[in-house]
Amino acid sequence: MTKIIGLTGGIGSGKTTIANYFKSFGIPVYIADDEARKIMQSSEITDAIKNVFGDTVFENEKLNREKLAKIVFNNPEKLEKLNKIVHPAVKKHFEQWLLQHTAAPYVIYEAAILFESGSYKNCDLIITVTAPVESRIQRVIERDKTTRELVLKRINAQWTDEQRISKSDFIIENTSIETTKLEVVKILKILKIRQKAL
């Protein structure tokens, strides 16, 4: 049976880069945030979001993710409401995706809020990616063209590295491309050895 390896880390830690390293070794990778973005465009989800958050987060009938993010990252209660709409849909989509990869010994499930969403309970092993906070902030500011204040709010809405590490099987310190790639290779070797025991 295909094993699920959860891959997580705080915003800006470099999870997706690491997920792509695994992908380059032929391992199927599911990027939960990317899929959630697509799912959030479906009429079923946009209708549910409209019911909870109203028309203010829509522009020309299209969901404005930035407006929605500003609301939910300032309000834990509203963030939880959004998660209750999106997470079950992502879970269902992942289960369908998994059926297409039953021949793989394991797949990578990459999610920023693997622990917060409870998705970690479905994983056989978990990898946490860490990186210095300042590096993470700079990466997200550049990537999302956002402000330091908004990045910090998003960091504070997530679990801390310490919390994630305490529940993880592997830790990757993403400080340089070279060492990070070596960490991935090391994990792959361990997985190969443990494959029969998993």
Binding residues: 12-17
Q: Any idea what DSSP says for residue 1?
A: -
User: CA-based angle 87:89:91, to the nearest 5?
Assistant: 70
The binding site for ATP comprises: 12-17
Task: Let me know if 111 is exposed, middle or buried by CB neighbors in 10 A (0-12, 13-18, 19+).
Answer: buried
Find the largest Cα–Cα distance for the chain. Answer: 54
- Separation between Cα atoms, residue 189 and residue 135, nearest integer Å: 29
At residue 130, what are phi and psi to the nearest 5 degrees?
A: -120, 160
Which of 70-103 are b and which e, b meaning 16 or more Cβ less than 10 Å from the residue's Cβ? ebbbeeeeebeebbebbbebbeebbeeebeeeee
Are 107 and 191 a contacting pair, CB within 8 Å?
Answer: no
Helix then strand count (H, E) for the chain reads: 9, 7
* Assigned token pair, 104: 């793989």
